[in-house]
Amino acid sequence: MTTLFYVIAYAAILGFCVIAFLKVRSYLAASPLHVRWELYPVPHEGRKAAYGGSFMEGIDWWSKPRAHDVKGDILALLEEVLFLHATFKHNIKLWFRTYPFHLGLYMLMGGIFLTLITAVAKIAGAENNGFIVFLGNVINAVSMLGMLGIIGGGIGLIQRRVSDEGLSKYTTPEHFFNLGAFIFYALIGLGAWSVNPSFYVLSRDFLANLITFNFAPLGSTAFGVHLFIGFLLMLWIPATHMGHLIMKYFTYHDIRWGDEPTSFSAANQKKIDAALKFPVSWAAPHIAGDGKKTWADVATTNPAAPKND
């Protein structure tokens, strides 16, 4: 039974990676060329972003190499991911509920990374190193705070979806199920944290065993249930709307900041050429599609022009 548990752990990690990859790939393959938002500032404009400027201010910009400040994009992404800046700016009431929930998730993810370091240290025989002991204390703290954040934030988000008239219109049973699953996951984890001498030791030993293929007992039933729910969530997240964890850049930031001129991008030119060959069945007078015309025909003819007999 213990061996099966470890097999499930490997399957969950692999499944998350595969599902996430397939979702990103299918989105990129199926998504059409998006319509430019034309919203400035765009963070990769560098110093021009401070006043909402763009590369188009330059004389003969189309004949010069395009400068792209990658650091600006990264800093803007970090601001949004770490602080939910847009929610804070535009919906502060929601931010007070969703930020503790997300911060709790970030703490647990950061705790996993730190635990991985300590697991490698244990394998190397350095688990009693002073710095590793310090990390263990940090892991215990962020694990507790992270699970409290998920519980409190999750309950707040459920309350908000029930009580807010505008938000309730867009709420489905899946939203409640997802939030409830995370709350349950955190409650079980908090229980395991409180009844065991060290949540950190349980986590470190499990990861060390996972790395070395040592299928040893977990040492705590509550901790095992907590992990099992986590494995199910790993498989569930990328398959649902919670997959914005991995998709938000492609479905929001890439669209919002995508300002590559068509003349600069062979890929965009190829997409436009393909789109112009699509048939048009839109029969409105200003389009006059009949299912046989293509968008190239529509773009190069005037449907309101008098017809020659």
The angle subtended at Cα 48 by Cα 45 and Cα 51, nearest 5°, is 125
Q: How many angstroms separate the first and last alpha carbons of the chain? A: 83
CA 203 to chain centre: 25
CB 125 within 8 A of CB 69: no
Q: How far is CA 247 from the centre of its chain?
A: 5
- Ramachandran region of residue 31, left (φ > 0), alpha (ψ -120 to 50) or beta? beta
pLDDT tens sequence for the chain (309 residues): 799 999 999 999 999 999 999 999 998 888 888 877 667 788 999 888 888 888 888 899 888 888 889 999 999 999 999 999 999 999 999 999 999 999 999 999 999 999 999 999 999 999 889 999 999 999 999 999 999 999 999 999 999 999 998 888 889 999 999 999 999 999 999 999 999 999 999 999 999 999 999 999 998 999 999 999 999 999 999 988 888 888 888 888 888 888 888 888 888 898 889 889 999 999 888 888 889 899 999 989 887 777 665
CA torsion angle for 76, 79, 84, 85 (degrees, to 10)? Answer: -70
The SS3 call for residue 259 is: coil
Domain 2-31+67-257: which topology?
Fumarate Reductase Cytochrome B subunit (1.20.950)
- Ordered by start, the domain boundaries in the chain are 2-31+67-257, 276-300
Tell me the two tokens of residue 176. Answer: 């409640």
Residue type, 82: L
- Residue 204 parent element (H or E): helix 199-212
Predicted confidence at residue 309, as pLDDT, reads 54
Which two three-digit tokens encode residue 240?
A: 């649902």
